[in-house]
Amino acid sequence: MGVNIEIGADGNISNYTEVMTGLFNELDAAEKAAGEEASEKEQEVIDAISEKIDDLKSAIGQYDETRKLLQDLDNQIEDKFYEWQDNNYNQLTYSLELKLEINDMELERMDYYLNKFSDNFYKMAESAALMFSQIAPNK
| pLDDT for the residue numbered 93 | 87
Radius of gyration of the chain (CA): 44
Q: Which residues contact 34 (CB under 8 A, 6 or more apart)?
A: 42, 43, 45, 46
- Domain boundaries in the chain? 16-135
- How much is the pTM? 0.54
User: Which residues in the chain come in under a pLDDT of 50?
Assistant: none
Listed residue (38, 8, 45, 39) closest to 23, CA to CA: 45
Residue type, 72: D
| pLDDT for the residue numbered 40 | 87
